[in-house]
Structure formats: C-alpha cells, structure tokens
Amino acid sequence: MAEIVRLAHKMGMNERQQSVSLGQGQGKKAERAIMEGREQGLWVILQNCHLASSWMGRLEVFVEDLHPDKVHDQFRLWLTAMPSPDFPVSVLQNGLKMTNEPPKGLKSNLLRAYLSIEKDWFDEAGVSKGEACQQAFRKMLFGLCFFHASIQERCTYGPLGWNIPYQFSEPDRQICMMQLRMFLEENDT
C-alpha cells in the first residue's frame, strides 16, 4: 500500500484517490468508489480482497464492465490481496500483476527499509527536541529496522523455533516507525 501511495504522490494523484479496506459490509462502499473513480478519474485502491470472498463475483462483473472508451483516462483500480482460491481468474488474467515480497538477507532487507523512508521525514525526525532526540531516533530506528529484517529472514526457516507464526510486514514496520518518532517527539528523552 505504501508503494501505491508513494506512486500516487509522484504522479500527482495523492488528492485523487480512494481507498477501501474490504471486509464485512464494505462491498457497497467499494462499488461506489469504483463508480466514482471511473467517472472522475480517481485511483481506487481496494485492500485485502482475499477477505471479501463473497464479493469477488461482483468485483469480476465490475472489472469486465471497464472498457477504455467508457472510463476516465486517469482511472486506475488497484487491488491488494494475499493468495486466495476465491480471487477471480479473469481479473488476474486481464490485469497487470505485481508482487511485493521481502528481500532475501539482512542487508537487502535493511536497505529496502531505509530506501522506503522519505528523506525529509527522516531528516526532520526529532529536530524539534534537539540533537539528542534526533540521535536517539536514528539509533532506535536502526534497531527497529534490524528487528524487522531479522523477523523477515527468520520466517524463511518455517516453524522451527516459533510457537506462533507471525508476519511482521512492511505496513507493520511503517506504523512502528511513525509511532517511534511520535513517542520521541512527544516525550522527554
């Protein structure tokens, strides 16, 4: 999701997007977003499609009805999902597919984490509280990113040594980074 938002910002579409997290009762909201998006040229992002298996038939109908001459030229429909047997095959066959998998190795994972951080956000973190806060933030951020990379790398070994499998995903890391910054900036270091 973060990559789509970053692309929208780069393409000047950050104010012209609608995001719907699918789940129980979100089908109507998603349908309205698709209708508005194709008429007004919005980017519509439907997240967690695998959680709305009962709505996948409706999604298939909407996608089949999207003809280039009937939709705004700026309209894009983004779908995020985990692998699911309920996902419509025709949607997969007629769309562009991208995968987002964690890189292999600690170094690659750390590099990806730091490349995902906006330079301005990183430079401004902790500045309001002084240099000590900024240095503390950078050290803790490295620890957080290293922990995330370690968990991602550890998942390749499967259930060995784990009681409960847990995927510490990219969005989880992003949220932790924002909370770390907020905690340091709102409290005395």
Please say whether the beta carbons of 148 and 177 come within 8 A. Answer: no
Residue keyed to tokens 């938002």: 5
d(CA 59, CA 36): 15
d(CA 97, CA 79): 9
> Tens-digit pLDDT profile for the chain (189 aa)?
677 877 777 888 878 888 888 877 888 888 888 888 888 888 888 888 888 888 888 888 888 888 888 888 888 888 888 888 888 888 888 888 777 776 788 899 899 899 888 889 999 988 888 888 899 999 999 999 999 988 888 776 766 656 666 677 888 888 999 999 999 888 875
Q: Which two tokens mark 2?
A: 């973060």
- In the DSSP assignment, the letter for residue 50 is G
Q: What angle do CA 146, 147, 153 make, to 5 degrees?
A: 85
d(CA 22, CA 34): 13
Please say whether the beta carbons of 25 and 53 come within 8 A. Answer: no
d(CA 3, CA 123): 20
Q: 49, exposed or middle or buried, with CB in 10 Å at 0-12, 13-18, 19+?
A: buried
Q: What's the predicted TM-score (pTM) here?
A: 0.66
- Look at residue 122 in the predicted model and tell me its pLDDT: 92
